Structure 1
Amino acid sequence: MTKTQTLIGFAVCIATILLAVLDMNIVSAATVPIARDLDPAHGVDKIPWLISTFALASAAALPLYGKLCDSLGAKKVFVGAVATFLLGSTLCGAAQSMTELIAARALQGLGGGGLMSVTMVVLAQLKGPDGKGGNKGSGIGGIVAGTGMAVGPWVGGTLADHANWRWIFYINLPLGITALVAAILVLKLPVSPVRHRIDYLGAALAAAFTSSLLLLTSWGGQQYAWGSPQILGLAAACVVCLALFLHRQRTAAEPVLPLSMFKVPQLRYGFAIQGLLGAAMMGALVYVMVYLQAVRGLAPAAAGLYLIPMALGMTAVGLAAGRLTARGQSVKSSVVIGTVTSTVALALLATLDAGTSLWLIRAGLLLMGCGFGLLMGQLIPYVQNAAPAHQLGVATTSIRFFQTLGNALGAAVFGTLLSRVYEANVPGGSTSAIAHLTGAAHDRAVHGFVTAMDVVFLVAAAVMAVAAVLAARLPAETGPAAYEPIQERELVAA
């Protein structure tokens, strides 16, 4: 590829990352208007499904995406993922019920998972304009992803307030089609000369495991009792699918998630930290928006503006961390400081009540942005450097798999936790009915809701505290040269 083609390729990758992350988070600020429009009676109760379905579909497809990239080449898989995402976006905009919208979000998530993960593979294969390879691009992609997570709710709220929530999905089409055409015409990426076998059975078992796990965490104790046949059946299916998947990965000629990767400490801890980060970020972003709208009465666009401090902190600190890492600072120090800072920020949000100063909320979100900024864009290049060259696609999509699985489980678990704590404080109440209550009943419902929100943020802080403990165990390596012996051993073993 020429220098101009490479620059266009980078621009296409950044655009698709932004599309995927915006669409994962753009819905969070507009969930209340969407739910009230499509299902006024029970729509708010379905919000966790609206959020988690996208993440679930992405997680289910990610293991297969990695193997397809290593087998067919990243360009073909990238083009297919973008096309699937655009089709899902079109169907989301045309949905006439919450059920239709949730189903369309699943299709959109199948493509969206490829947009994030396969794009990182493309970035790693592109040579940058300075000739230093793809890690710099992956780091920039991580910062763009983090910024999109914070800006997405504001964009969604603005469209919901001043246009129509359907434009949240239709707005993807012009940028997505442009990126699709540019990718077809410009990208020239390597294709493995070796014909690989695709482990479709392993990918199906991974999808079955993630689906049953999400249903278990979403329905358990809420839609069905924990001891009900439905929940016990899901728990059994979850255990069986996981056991079959692990067996398949041990015996398959070319597994979709090689278990040998977990022998490398950089990969093992990187996967775990990224998964915990995904769960905590999803809980923070979604439920800050819900608090600002349901408790403080802000319009979606106004609520989205509160995430600007988070976006500024994430971008500024993330770029600074990237430069320091390029100059030799250990990735470990950035990840440790980032996890600790994020834990403190989430613990601060766990003190919210109905009259908390809005400036204190902004300060908490700024601090959270600084913490997440030290994490976004650091772990993906870190894992890519540690991975054997022939497993670049699998390693990249694996870390995205764990983050996306964390997103899905975070949305489901935090949604269930919120409903359970709220019902314990307001017996017989529903979060969907808060907006229609008045007087003492409204005050009691708001107090119960805020109490439930505080529990959600406290649990999210505990999740990040676990990530901080794992970060302290990361090997303090600083560059690709540090991983060469590991790569050689893995290649000889292969």
Structure 2
Amino acid sequence: MTPTALTPPLMTPAQRKLGMVLCLVTIVLAVLDMNIVSAATVPIVRDLDPVHGVDRLPWLVSAFALAATALLPLYGKLCDLYGAKRVLLGAVGTFLLGSGLCGAAQSMDQLIAFRALQGIGGGGLMSVTMVVVAHLKDPEDRGAGRGGAMGGIVAGLGMAIGPLVGALFTDHLSWRWIFYVNLPLGLLVLVGAALVLKLPATAGRRSLDFLGAALAAAFATTLLLVTEWGGKDYAWTSPEILGLAAVAVVTLVLFLWRQATAAEPVLPLSLFRIRVVRLGFAVQGLVGMGMTGSIMYVMLYLQIARDVAPTTASLYLIPMAAGMTAIGLLVGRLTSRGHSPRTFLVAGAACATLALVLLGLSGPTTGLWAVCAELALLGCGLGQLIGQLITLVQEAAPAHQLGVATTGIRFFQTLGSALGAALFGTLLARVFEAGEPGEPLGAVRSLAGAAREHALGSFTDAVDVVFLSAGGVLGLVLLLAVRLRATEAAAGVGEEDRPVLAA
């Protein structure tokens, strides 16, 4: 294979640093948009549809997530075929168009449709930006993992300030400004990237596997719908859920067949022959599952078992966000001095596993300061996990498949999160029903006296099982992370599979 240099020879060190700043702003846009809408749901419903709006609120999140996830494999292939700069500009432009239309929406139907359009662009903000970051690194920083550290820092900051920014705009301006605020930042990225970025030219291939991209989108969409609707809108054994599950299986089989036969597959199966990439995809899927089993159910535990108001409960994410941010800064310093990202991957999995086990031992009387400390430890673990796998996979993947390898990481994390939501939601319901036969979970807070105490005990037991199960998932991540290090040390990556990371 002819080596492909990732370092853009036409960019000076100053231009690369400016490009990194633009990438940071882009990731901030992506992370904020994932967290900012939650603070404005009530004003949105009151303004657009006070009668039926509450029932349609889940689609504000689902429409964005479905569109963003379905397009991830296509974004990676587009980067490899047409260059990351063009794809980034297209993704940011689409995101800005969707944001402007969301701010101007006059009905819930319009807002949901425009959120889907925003999601089409949003799917590329994080994933394509990490491809650009790989191109922008200085030659001496290859393998340093700074992109992973940046991901942990920004994720922590976004988790902490996203809901706060949303609440400020909603209280003092209008919920529409949670979308309009994207416009000046996005325009800055759009103009800056167009003027500053000079990335390597592609090899000239222009064929694209549209059928494979459509099958990937169909599989991701049906799987996400199964996890979104199963056990809530429809019973798991209902014809709707079973039908969607069957469609997911069929589209997955057809997608794998297409990837094995297409000339330019959107997710080449040859990537899975590279040990680090194969294990990296598996680990990232498990990390997504474990994160779902922690953050979501921490909020449920605080609000139901500890009777903490929803707004106050969100403040308990600050220790987790602080842990993610602090460890991200530390990891950035250490990796710049030559420490391997694999070290932090193992340490992060160990911290997150321990934190979830401690949360699983919590009871109705556990001190809230102890919960804060456990969440800070969890943040330290997740801060080391988020982004480090991107660096490892980028190091191991062939240079001409950098885009699909990078977006593949994000794709597997999203699918893992969806499966985690379904698995842990079912587990919580089953364990609670075993302790409280015939009593719906939503009725716990309306009970009184001994019945309430017993129901709270059953709910706490159920949440503890979820935390311990999530800890088991992160324990498996720890085992695979250790295996990831041993595998590369023992077998490495073939010379023909390794990208050349410097000119």
Contact 1:203 1:256 in 2 (8 A): yes
User: 1:121 corresponds to which residue?
Assistant: 131
- Within 2, Cα distance between the matches of 1:26 and 1:16? 15
**Selected match of 1:58 from 65, 68, 80:** 68
- Within 1, Cα distance between the matches of 2:181 and 2:486? 42
Deviations 1:175-233, CA, capped at 9 Å, x for gaps: 22222222222222222142231111111101111111122233334433333322222
Contact 1:249 1:258 in 2 (8 A): yes
Within the alignment, does 1:260 sit opposite 2:270 as a pair?
yes
- Within 1, Cα distance between the matches of 2:114 and 2:289? 23
Contact 1:266 1:474 in 2 (8 A): yes
- Within 1, Cα distance between the matches of 2:378 and 2:403? 30
- Within 1, Cα distance between the matches of 2:417 and 2:166? 21
- Within 1, Cα distance between the matches of 2:430 and 2:176? 31
Deviations 1:263-286, CA, capped at 9 Å, x for gaps: 111101111111111222234233
**Greater alpha carbon shift after TM alignment, 438-447 vs 254-263:** 438-447
Q: For 2:148, give the aligned amino acid.
A: G
**Selected match of 2:195 from 165, 169, 185:** 185
Within the alignment, does 1:342 sit opposite 2:352 as a pair?
yes
Deviations 1:67-115, CA, capped at 9 Å, x for gaps: 1011111111101111222233334445567665554433322222200
- After TM superposition, give the deviation of residue 153 of structure 1 in Å: 5.0
- After TM superposition, give the deviation of residue 469 of structure 1 in Å: 2.2
Q: For 1:143, give the aligned amino acid.
A: G
User: 2:227 corresponds to which residue?
Assistant: 217
The verdict on how the C-alpha distance between 1:272 and 1:152 changes in structure 2, with shifts beyond 3 A counting, is: farther
Q: TM-score, normalised by structure 2?
A: 0.84
**Selected match of 1:306 from 313, 316, 326:** 316
User: 1:395 corresponds to which residue?
Assistant: 405
Deviations 1:29-53, CA, capped at 9 Å, x for gaps: 6667867887889877877655454
Q: For 2:325, give the aligned amino acid.
A: T
Within the alignment, does 1:141 sit opposite 2:154 as a pair?
no
Contact 1:55 1:405 in 2 (8 A): no
- After TM superposition, give the deviation of residue 140 of structure 1 in Å: 3.8
User: 1:12 corresponds to which residue?
Assistant: 22
Contact 1:12 1:182 in 2 (8 A): yes
**Selected match of 2:211 from 195, 201, 204:** 201
Within the alignment, does 1:236 sit opposite 2:239 as a pair?
no
Deviations 1:7-26, CA, capped at 9 Å, x for gaps: 22111100111111222233
Q: For 2:190, give the aligned amino acid.
A: L
Contact 1:50 1:105 in 2 (8 A): yes
- Within 1, Cα distance between the matches of 2:453 and 2:215? 47
Within the alignment, does 1:278 sit opposite 2:295 as a pair?
no
- Within 1, Cα distance between the matches of 2:47 and 2:432? 24
- Within 2, Cα distance between the matches of 1:434 and 1:95? 37
Within the alignment, does 1:319 sit opposite 2:329 as a pair?
yes
- After TM superposition, give the deviation of residue 160 of structure 1 in Å: 7.4
**Greater alpha carbon shift after TM alignment, 36-45 vs 411-420:** 36-45
**Selected match of 1:226 from 225, 232, 236:** 236
- After TM superposition, give the deviation of residue 453 of structure 1 in Å: 3.5
Contact 1:29 1:304 in 2 (8 A): no
User: 1:25 corresponds to which residue?
Assistant: 35
- Number of residues of Structure 1 aligned to a counterpart in Structure 2: 486
Contact 1:88 1:108 in 2 (8 A): yes
The verdict on how the C-alpha distance between 1:65 and 1:176 changes in structure 2, with shifts beyond 3 A counting, is: same
Within the alignment, does 1:456 sit opposite 2:466 as a pair?
yes
**Aligned with 1:403: secondary structure?**
helix
Q: For 1:346, give the aligned amino acid.
A: L
The verdict on how the C-alpha distance between 1:79 and 1:203 changes in structure 2, with shifts beyond 3 A counting, is: same
**Greater alpha carbon shift after TM alignment, 34-43 vs 45-54:** 34-43
**Selected match of 1:82 from 92, 98, 101:** 92
User: 2:168 corresponds to which residue?
Assistant: 159
Q: For 1:5, give the aligned amino acid.
A: Q
- Within 2, Cα distance between the matches of 1:392 and 1:64? 13
**Greater alpha carbon shift after TM alignment, 403-412 vs 271-280:** 403-412
Contact 1:154 1:301 in 2 (8 A): no
- Within 2, Cα distance between the matches of 1:298 and 1:38? 29
User: 2:4 corresponds to which residue?
Assistant: none
The verdict on how the C-alpha distance between 1:155 and 1:289 changes in structure 2, with shifts beyond 3 A counting, is: farther
Q: For 2:24, give the aligned amino acid.
A: I
User: 2:7 corresponds to which residue?
Assistant: none
- After TM superposition, give the deviation of residue 156 of structure 1 in Å: 5.2
Q: TM-score, normalised by structure 1?
A: 0.85
- Within 1, Cα distance between the matches of 2:466 and 2:438? 19
Deviations 1:464-493, CA, capped at 9 Å, x for gaps: 1221222121034899xx6572526x99xx
- Within 2, Cα distance between the matches of 1:170 and 1:411? 30
Structure 1 unmatched runs, 5+: none
- Within 1, Cα distance between the matches of 2:43 and 2:359? 24
Q: For 1:16, give the aligned amino acid.
A: T
Contact 2:144 2:336 in 1 (8 A): no
Contact 2:283 2:480 in 1 (8 A): yes
Structure 2 unmatched runs, 5+: 1-10
The equivalences for 1:396-475 within 5 A come to 396-415=406-425, 417-418=427-428, 425=436, 427=438, 429=440, 431=442, 437=446, 439=448, 450-475=460-485
